Structure 1
Amino acid sequence: MTRHLVAALGLVLWAIPAAAQSEKVTIVRDLDYVAGAEYRGGKDRLDLYIPQGASSAPVILSLHGGALEAGDRRDEGFVGHRFAAAGYVTAVASYRLSPQVSHPAHIQDAAAAFAWVKRNIRQHGGDPDRIIVIGHSAGAYLAMLLATDPRWLAAHQLSPRDIKGVAPVSGFFWVDKPGVAPDRPTYVWGTDRKVWMEASPARYLRADLPPVLILDTDGDEQWRQRQNADFAAALRAAGHTDVTVHKVPGRSHMSVWTGMGDGEDEETSSQILLFARRVLAAKAK
């Protein structure tokens, strides 16, 4: 999770063509999910990818990766196109980044984005009672923190129960464990170990969490693979009975996500769609 990796991430994502360009998908861009905020760079905005004729369609909110210091919704059109082509109204959100902000700004933005989707998606053809949250890397961390720590959605009079499923891809779940950043960025979480613990999704596990699909790849760093395996075990130990684990073979930390945009590797998106169809009882294509 170094700055060099983050810079490479941005270059790679900009180079990927949006998938499913031929599909009949309507894109509504730059919707402000924090009214009146006007964050620099439009970080308070999301884009919607809407299937043709959508009416009470299932919904996916996607949060990008980038070590909480890079990335943008505009890098991730391939995600919106992939899932909209499968029948899901898909919201792809930006959020504020470090070092300009620190924790908890990122998760506050993720909660605000979810709240906006919950309250506004019906007018765009989505069903506000059938929303799952997905994310890659740092976005996976945010998706899981949103689904475990109730404080962030409570600020919007919502709760993790409003999330019908969460699918973190190659994420991390303990900020306070060695490895999450071998160079743990103090500009994200500071230097207080108590804050690291409070910022960790693994500290909030219980039996009534939403269904979880944990995806990673054998190309992920060893510390990340350990966290994913340990997190699945910890969820089950907490009494959670709806935990699915899938390891995508032969992919890197990056390509397990960006493979959705190359038109050749569908395993990550296929696993997410299988999960979404089950937990949302969706009639998707």
Structure 2
Amino acid sequence: MDIPYYDSINSVPSDYERQMKLVDISFPEDKNKVPVIIWFHGGGLTGGSKELPDALTGKGYCVVGAGYRLSPKVKAAESVYDAAEAVAWVFRNIEKFHGDPERIFVSGHSAGGYLALMSVMDKDLLVKYDLDANDVAGLVPFSGHTITHFTIRQEMGIPGEQPLIDRWAPIYYVRKDTPPILLITGDREKEMLGRYEENAYFYRMMKVNGQNDIDIYELDGYGHNMTLPAFPLLLNFVSEHSSN
């Protein structure tokens, strides 16, 4: 619990970084080189805390619950940089916790789904750590923004009802050569502002760009808090893509 992923060798982390840039890890002690699930919590980039969902632990996988800094203490974009730094730390350190760095899956709910998307779609974020985002084994965001996150838009004076696609939008980085992706949202009539539709547009534009290893599930009858039925889909995805 509370393992720091910040760089304390080449920089001096702030007190807030020491408080938030931490991970919790659950892993099987009797197995080595198991698939890894990085989980980013939700909360609108303004709240929430790192978590290890019960639905993911005890399944024979290494699960990493990552924390990150929050707005308004920092600009919301700093959460994106923190997410990438956490993913990079996992690549470099997860073997110590019986995880397989060649089978790392990135996931999260809501704001966490957005961070999962950004950390993989914007390849420049991991290039900083001499890593290739395409080395991620799979990407499974739950109800994540594919346009620019509403908290970032709010900081720019843009209301949540006004869509924006800029460099803080995962859909800005659509390309053919991504890891396999599974998009999961709640019912389009019960979700937050157009959340299903923006995921559906991301799905379509990825297909147009030639990425065929992508699927989208809409969980009928469930609203934004759709994690309960989504966790089994994530676990199935990890199992299927770990044996390839």
Q: TM-score, normalised by structure 1?
A: 0.76
Q: What residue number does 2:6 align with?
A: 34
* Residue in structure 2 matching 1:271, options 233, 237, 240: 233
1:215 is paired with a residue whose SS is strand
Matched, 1:100 2:73: yes
Among 155, 168, 173, the residue aligned to 1:186: 155
Report deviation, 1:221.
2.5
SS of match in other structure, 2:194: helix
Is 2:138 the counterpart of 1:165? Answer: yes
Distance between the aligned counterparts of 2:121 and 2:171, measured in 1? 8
| Cα distance in 2, alignment partners of residues 278 and 188 from structure 1 | 43
Partner SS state of residue 84, structure 1: coil
**Aligned structure 1 segments of 4 or more residues deviating by more than 4 angstroms:** none
Residue pair 1:69, 1:98 contacting (<8 A) in 2 also: yes
1:59 is the counterpart of 2:36: yes
What does residue 108 of structure 2 align with? 135
Distance 1:242 1:70, change over 3 A: same
Query: How many aligned positions are there?
Result: 233
Deviation string, structure 1 residues 100-123 (Cα, Å, up to 9, x no partner)? 111431111111111111111111
Identity of aligned residues (%): 31
Task: Tell me if structure 1 keeps the 8 A contact 2:123–2:132.
Answer: yes
Change (3 A) 1:188 1:118: farther
Tell me the distance in 2 between the aligned counterparts of 1:188 and 1:112: 28
- Do the aligned partners of 1:135 and 1:143 also contact (CA within 8 Å) in 2? yes
RMSD after superposition: 2.3
3-state secondary structure, aligned to 1:83: coil
Partners of 1:107 and 1:142 within 8 A in 2: yes
Matched residue, 1:70: 47
Aligned to 2:161: none
Please say if 1:220 is aligned against 2:165.
no
Q: Distance in 2 between the 1:39 and 1:155 partners?
A: 23
SS at match of 2:55: helix
Partner residue in 2 for 1:87: 60
Q: Where does structure 2 lack aligned partners over 5 or more consecutive residues? A: 159-163
- The offset of 1:146, in angstroms, is 1.1
Deviation (angstroms), 1:183: 9.9
- Contact in 2 for aligned 1:102/1:188 (Cα 8 Å): no
Give distance in 2, aligned partners of 1:162 and 1:188.
Answer: 36
2:205 matched to 1:243?
A: no
1: distance between equivalents of 2:157 and 2:74? 7
Once the two structures are superposed, residues 87-142 of structure 1 have per-residue CA deviations (whole angstroms, 9 ceiling, x without a partner) of: 11000000010111114311111111111111111111111111000011111111
